[in-house]
Amino acid sequence: GEDVEQSLFLSVREGDSSVINCTYTDSSSTYLYWYKQEPGAGLQLLTYIFSNMDMKQDQRLTVLLNKKDKHLSLRIADTQTGDSAIYFCAERRNQAGTALIFGKGTTLSVSS
Amino acid sequence: GAVVSQHPSRVICKSGTSVKIECRSLDFQATTMFWYRQFPKQSLMLMATSNEGSKATYEQGVEKDKFLINHASLTLSTLTVTSAHPEDSSFYICSASGRSNQPQHFGDGTRLSIL
Give B56's DSSP letter: P
Per-residue confidence band for A99, with pLDDT thresholds at 50, 70 and 90: confident
Q: Is A99 in CB contact (< 8 Å) with chain B?
A: yes
Number of H-type helices and E-type strands within chain A: 0, 11
Q: Which of B36, B50, B4 has its CA nearest to residue A44?
A: B4
∠ CA B34-A25-A107, nearest 5°, is: 70
CA distance A82 to A90: 22
Chain B contacts in chain A segment 26-85 (CB below 8 A): 30-31, 33, 35, 40-45, 48
Q: What is the nearest CA distance from A107 to chain B, expressed in angstroms?
A: 9
Per-residue confidence band for A97, with pLDDT thresholds at 50, 70 and 90: low
Nearest to A41 among B95, B105, B108 (CB): B108
**Whether B33 contacts B54, CB under 8 Å:** no
pLDDT tens digits, one per residue of B62-104: 999 999 999 888 899 999 999 999 999 999 999 998 776 677 8
